[in-house]
Chain A
Amino acid sequence: MVDSTDHSDDVVAVPLRHPARWIFGGVAALLLLSFIYAVASAKSIQYELVGKFLFDHRIIEGMGVTLFVTVVCMSFGTILATLLAIMKLSQNPIQRWLATGFIEFFRGTPLLLQIVFWGYLGIIFPQLVLGVPYTDIVFLSGDTSDLIPALVAGIIALSLNEAAYSAEIVRAGILAVDGGQVEAAKSLGMSSSYTMRKIVLPQAMRVIIPPMGNEFIGMLKNTSLLQLIAVAELYTAASTISSANLAQIELLIVSGFWYLVMTTVLGFPQRALEKRYGRGFESVGGRAAPRAFKVGRR
């Protein structure tokens, strides 16, 4: 019998304490504050110029171009990437080789080089003709620089490059779907394209979306490379202004600020999408899904 008057078992448990965390946090805060002070008090940076140009119409318009190019290129890029991924997983060897060749080529050369190539296409092919070879039938012809202005060249370059990168992401997503899913779909009489659209891709999305969020942010920043072929996006706008008023640092701060705002805002739709495609995978009672597969939470 336990003596009910003995209270020696009446103890309280507390979790492990972490005093080192406070010290580490304090040091980090100190370093951060001194850096902010150094930047804020730098005589060479004219902060009134940052304020002046933050909402300059050229900057705002540049941001519009940046967002437009990002969305268009990600749309084209993702569609093409899905096609490439399906081709690469195809039974047909010719499709596989084509997709592999495309991916290797566009991943294997620098993006900068590709942008310049498309931008200067007019030097290699001054005239473009779309028609049936060896006949007089011509659908479209003209100067390359008219048919493919810098903006279009930039969009082509970024889309093709993006497609090559995200094809592997989509392929990984498709491969992550259990083979039994396709068998079940087949046994119900579903065609392979229907199975891909309704059964495989919706499940693959769960795996595809997080890295695609990365790609989106990467794309948003890579649009700044279009400055090389004079597309009037955010970075081009900022550097055009700074080359006139010589306030390089101030305008770098302006464009950097807006890039940071845009990439931060883009995180919200990503989390919404993750939640949308995570349906049916979160555990509610019963057997829990492995932690690594939980989505929509951080």
Chain B
Amino acid sequence: MAELMVDARSVRKSYGANQVLNGISLTVEQGEVLCIIGPSGSGKSTFLRCLNHLESINGGRIYVNDELMGYRQVGKVLHELKPKDIARQRQSIGMVFQRFNLFPHMTALQNVIEAPIGVAGVSAEDAKTLGLELLAQVDLADKADHYPAQLSGGQQQRVAIARALAMKPKLMLFDEPTSALDPELVGDVLDVMKNLAKAGMTMIVVTHEMGFAREVADKVVFIDKGLIVEQGTPKQVLDNPQESRTKAFLNKVL
């Protein structure tokens, strides 16, 4: 068996009385692509944000690359880590957001190289080389000196992917990366993600793009009301769902 990149065990999360995650357990192997699907409000984005501790959890454990994420376990209690330790853990996990969240006061290249220089301590020169390489990889070499406001949504999202890759992450999280895009711009972003998957990147993708899930995912998980309803290969979950809730959801989106 290949090495586990993510091992989530009974992850629970609530906002006050509102239980968002009711014990989610799943594993992702190195090099695997996992797509998480489900209705809005099902907790799929929240779960993704728990993986790099943008959200704290109330119970359960998340191991990323054999490291307990965000906490230190003493007996039966998880103690939250200090911010600087969490920041260090996050360096090996890239994240791409629905609304891109590029830094608007920096050019595309500056967006990509800010963290390598300021966080990872890469020299400005090496970072620039790396940055231009990554921008070329997402097909935006000619846009290095453009500010985000000068780029289309699809271009911005590809810069955001390059920015996340610049920290040389072992795992990439995508939170509905194409939901905010005009339809004709979705394809370019998905192509970049497909190439990334082909290159062996471990990816967890919250998405409504069933075509992408079917083509690229090794595993699809359907989440509803904070629980995994069904999981399996894309064929099993998307083409031959067993649970009525999965069927109902797929009927609506396909």
Contacts and interface: CB of A to CB of B under 8 A. Distances in A.
Interface in B77-110: 83-84, 87-88, 90-91, 93-95, 97, 99, 101-107
A280 B104 contact: yes
Contact of B150 (A186, A191, A192, A285): A285
A277 B83 CA distance: 29
What 9 pairs across the A-B complex have the smallest Cβ distances? A189-B91, A280-B147, A184-B101, A187-B95, A188-B115, A180-B101, A189-B90, A280-B105, A280-B104
A194 B118 CA distance: 8
Interface of B: 52, 54, 83-84, 87-88, 90-91, 93-95, 97, 99, 101-107, 114-115, 118-120, 147-152, 160, 163-164, 167
A187 B54 contact: yes
Contacts of A203: 103-105
Interface in A258-285: 277, 279-285
Contacts of A277: 105
Contacts of B97: 180, 183-184, 187
A181 B164 CA distance: 14
Interface residues of A, number: 29
A190 B151 contact: no
A286 B150 contact: yes
A194 B101 contact: no
Interface of A: 178, 180-181, 183-192, 194, 198-199, 202-203, 277, 279-287, 289
A276 to B, nearest CB: 10
Contacts of B93: 187
B99 A187 contact: no
Nearest to A194: B118
B83 A191 contact: yes
Among B91, B118, B148, B152: residue with most chain A CB under 10 A: B118
A280 B90 contact: no
Contacts of B151: 286
B88 A189 contact: yes
A283 B104 CA distance: 12
Nearest to A199: B103
Among A183, A188, A199: residue with most chain B CB under 10 A: A188
B90 A186 contact: yes
Given A198-B114, A202-B105, A280 B99 contact: no
Contacts of B91: 188-189
A241 to B, nearest CB: 49
B105 A286 contact: no
A188 B101 contact: no
7 contacts: A183-B97, A184-B103, A186-B87, A189-B87, A189-B90, A191-B83, A194-B119
A280 B148 CA distance: 7
A198 to B, nearest CB: 6
